[in-house]
Amino acid sequence: MDEETTTAMAWISFPNLLPTFFVRESLFSLASAVGKTLHLDLATVNKTRPNCARVKVQVDLLSDFPKFVMMEIEDDVTKETRNVKVKIHYDYLPMYCTECMMQGHANEGCRVLHPEPEKELNVKNPTVTSD
């Protein structure tokens, strides 16, 4: 009960991906290297942003996040295959602290690991003297 889940939603982008790969099945296959694929953003579905595809995925914040995924492409005519490295850009990933098991900060910013000195809440009024 005192721990938050390590699972979070994140948007990932595939910059400079050829528009021919803006097919749901292709994008979900690429995004599955990161986590459970959920859906495409509207600009990707409508192909109104042809230089970048975005996919929403469910990720485990404790896992390693790949910087790229290899895509094997087969030529329809020659049947030759080639490998293409597709870059993955993480639009936003929440931080997760493995010390207090909470989302929102990393271990470096954890108050359990790095407690700050308590600040005085009661400010003392200066003594007023009248002559």
Give the pLDDT of the chain (131 residues) as one tens digit per residue. 578 899 999 999 999 998 889 999 999 999 999 999 999 999 999 999 988 999 999 999 999 999 999 999 888 899 899 999 999 999 988 898 888 888 888 888 888 777 775 454 444 544 444 44
C-alpha 6/C-alpha 94 separation (Å) is 10
Could you tell me which residues are beta bridge partners of residue 103?
96
Tell me the two tokens of residue 44: 């990707």
Per-domain residue ranges of the chain: 7-109
C-alpha 21/C-alpha 49 separation (Å) is 13
pLDDT at res. 1: 58
pLDDT at res. 20: 86
pLDDT at res. 117: 56
Q: How does strand 36-40 pair with strand 52-60?
A: antiparallel
pLDDT at res. 129: 46
Q: State the DSSP string of 36-57.
A: EEEEE-HHHHHT-STTEEEEEE
C-alpha 2/C-alpha 100 separation (Å) is 9
